[in-house]
Amino acid sequence: MKKPGKTGVLVVNLGTPDAPEWGAVYRYLKEFLLDPRVIDYPWLARNLLVRGIILPFRTSSSTALYKQLWTPEGSPLKVYGERVESELQKVLGTDYEVVLAMRYQKPSIESGLRRLLDAGVSEIVVFPMFPQYASATTGSVHAEVMRVLAKEEVIPALRFIQSYYDFEPMIDVFVQNAKKYDLDQYDHILFSYHGLPQRQLKKADSCNHCLQSADCCAKIQSENRFCYSAQCHATTAALVRKLGLAPGQYTTCFQSRLGKEVWIQPYTSEVIEARAKKGDRKLLVFCPAFVADCLETTIEITVEYREEFEALGGEQLDLVESLNDHPDWVKAMAELIRNA
């Protein structure tokens, strides 16, 4: 029997400043970095670090990067998100109500949930746009949804999509995008994921498995099924199978390190340096933790890392486009939502 009311779908990405201006970037960074799941220090230490060190010294440089990233339509992350929102609504049809939200800044999770509640949905599927689970991303989205809905007298049925790191239809879109490149022309291929402090990996480990051996992330098993690093390696493995790569052709690595704390290794910047010193002249980079191209892909990879590679004698560093608003990605999202 058909359930009364529509199914609400809250599609959530990380967020973006409202404009490539100092004040907007400051507000975005403050909200993002003060999230206790992102910088998981005690309250006082987190506030001293963010308000006293990071924001005063990082906002101006980040603003300059956002100015490079910005398009006439706006922030790519938000532009692609709005396109996905529209196309996903068409694919799912009238039994669903699709709303885009951002974990930080606008449109907020609270405003997105309000739209769904006002539409009279009977249940809500929460779709974080992070294929691999981490407390700092998917966990933070889930926590914010529960915080907002805790204030409601009537809470709809909730379904949370936790991860989809090796979901074949998603993997297939990355492979489709890679067909624009002749993989045999590249000396090496990098699968670069957003990094996390190693300490956060261990916090998520309830089985004393994390970092106990060199290959603890080599494959998913019961002990590491919630491990972000293991899920990243599983994404790489799924892509490698589809692409037909040999073991020596690629490296899984991690980018966007902040501060001096030890993060998941190897670091993308160090892998690029090592490949250049080894004589590699052409590198191809996938960023499978990002379903939409953003600062970390468009600027960090194709501007900053490319410049570093060329300074070391490299000739070409290319980035495989992310999923963005690819029609098959939208269909893959719809399949995950229907099966949630």
257-277 tens-digit pLDDT = 998 899 999 999 999 999 999
- pLDDT for 2 beyond 70: no
- Checking if the pLDDT of 1 tops 60, the result is no
**224 pLDDT tier (thresholds 50, 70, 90):** confident
Q: Quick one: three-class SS letters along the chain?
A: CCCCCCEEEEEEEEECCCCCCHHHHHHHHHHHHCCCCCCCCCHHHHHHHHHHHHHHHHHHHHHHHHHHHCECCECHHHHHHHHHHHHHHHHHCCCEEEEEEEEECCCEHHHHHHHHHHCCCCEEEEEECCCCCCHHHHHHHHHHHHHHHCCCCCCCEEEECCCCCCCHHHHHHHHHHHCCCCHHHCCEEEEEEECCEHHHHHHCCCCCCCCCCCCCCCCCCHHHCCCHHHHHHHHHHHHHHHHCCCHHHEEEEEECCCCCCCECCCEHHHHHHHHHHCCCCEEEEECCCCCCCCHHHHHHHHHHHHHHHHHCCCCEEEECCCCCCCHHHHHHHHHHHHCC
Q: What is the mean pLDDT of residues 230-236?
A: 98
Architecture of domain 181-319: 3-Layer(aba) Sandwich (3.40)
Whole-angstrom CA distances from 305 to 183, 251, 276, 312, 314 are 19, 16, 12, 11, 11
Q: What is the pLDDT of residues 82-114, one digit of tens each?
A: 999 999 999 999 999 999 999 999 999 999 999
Average pLDDT, the chain: 96
Q: 19 pLDDT exceeds 70?
A: yes
What's the pLDDT tens digit per position in 135-193? 999 999 999 999 999 999 999 999 999 999 999 999 999 999 999 999 999 999 999 99
Domain ranges, ordered by start, for the chain: 7-164+327-338, 181-319
Pairing type for strands 157-160 and 188-194 reads: unpaired
CATH fold, domain 7-164+327-338, is: Rossmann fold (3.40.50)
Q: Do domains 7-164+327-338 and 181-319 have the same CATH topology?
A: yes
Query: Alpha carbon 336 to chain centroid distance?
Result: 17
